A and B are shown apart, each in its own frame.
Chain A
Amino acid sequence: NAGVTQTPKFQVLKTGQSMTLQCAQDMNHEYMSWYRQDPGMGLRLIHYSVGAGITDQGEVPNGYNVSRSTTEDFPLRLLSAAPSQTSVYFCASSLAVGNQPQHFGDGTRLSIL
């Protein structure tokens, strides 16, 4: 099993550009989530999904969209990148809803100029 795979690992964008961060897991996990990690602020939940076709907002959802068309994939879309979205983004999955250990991807380091 590859676990949770995130692509790309690094990306530089200009303000106003859009892009999609990819996340895929091969563990047949129902629960998937996206976090951003900023210095001194820990991991903050952006969006999460409890199963295919179901998504919901987390703590900091503004400026981001998600979809969950399959169990395996959970892409995160930045609609119009802003410098405030410069961060490290982690995708995670767990067997069931949030009361199970989460498996994290390696992260995407995103810089917005």
Chain B
Amino acid sequence: GENVEQHPSTLSVQEGDSAVIKCTYSDSASNYFPWYKQELGKRPQLIIDIRSNVGEKKDQRIAVTLNKTAKHFSLHITETQPEDSAVYFCAATSGGYQKVTFGTGTKLQVIP
């Protein structure tokens, strides 16, 4: 089955700096890669996603890049703010697009 690895597990940045979280996947048939943000005690919520026919996608301060050849994708947050502090999960869809496999999460702390 699919295996998704996520790094780093924790990340501290100063407010205003950029943060980068990286994920690798194993199933070359995976074609959908969402990112979720989970604040403490709350539900995961989608922040951005990318499909395998696109190399990069941006939404204001958030961007995701995908390298299908290397089977890795990354989340980039620019001009970080304290409210960006949360756990971020990457995911990949495989198994005929029926199973979603999550990474183990990155706890991002933005220091004011």
Q: Could you tell me the distance in whole angstroms from the C-beta of A93 to the nearest C-beta in chain B?
A: 12
Stretch among A11-19, A35-43, A63-71, A73-81 lining the B interface: A35-43
Which A residues touch B97, using CB under 8 A?
Answer: 97-99
Rounded to whole angstroms, the CA-CA distance of A102 and B38 in the bound complex is: 13
**Is A106 at the interface (CB under 8 A from chain B)?**
yes
Determine which of B31, B45, B93, B102 lies in contact with A44 in the assembled complex, contact meaning CB atoms within 8 Å: B102
What are the residues of chain B within 8 A of A41 when measuring CB–CB?
Answer: 104
Is B84 an interface residue when CB atoms closer than 8 A count as contact? no
Interfacial chain A residues near B105, Cβ < 8 Å: 40, 42
A45 within 8 A of B: yes
Number of interface residues of B (CB under 8 A): 26
A36 to chain B, nearest CB (A): 11
Given the contacts A42-B89, A59-B1, A98 and B104 also touching, CB distance less than 8 Å: no
- Contact B98–A101 (Cβ < 8 Å): no
Q: In the assembled complex, which residues on chain A have CB atoms less than 8 Å from the CB atom of B61?
A: none
- A107–B104 CA distance with the chains assembled, in angstroms: 18
**Contacts across chains A and B counted by CB atoms under 8 Å:** 59
Query: A104 and B45: CB pair below 8 A?
Result: yes
Q: List 11 A-B contacts (CB under 8 A).
A: A41-B104, A42-B102, A42-B105, A43-B44, A45-B99, A45-B100, A59-B99, A90-B43, A90-B44, A98-B97, A104-B44
Q: Which single member of A35, A102, A106, A107 contacts B34 (CB below 8 Å)?
A: A102
| Residue from B31, B49, B95 whose CB has the most chain A CB atoms within 10 Å | B95
Closest chain B residue to A94, Cβ basis: B100
Q: Are B89 and A43 interface neighbours, CB within 8 A?
A: yes
Q: How far is the CA of A33 from the CA of B43 in the complex (A)?
A: 14
- Is B20 an interface residue, CB under 8 A from the partner? no
Q: Flag if B43 contacts A48 (CB, 8 Å).
A: no
Q: What is the CB-to-nearest-CB distance from A43 to chain B, in angstroms, rounded to a whole number?
A: 4
* Beta-carbon contact of B98 and A98 below 8 Å: yes
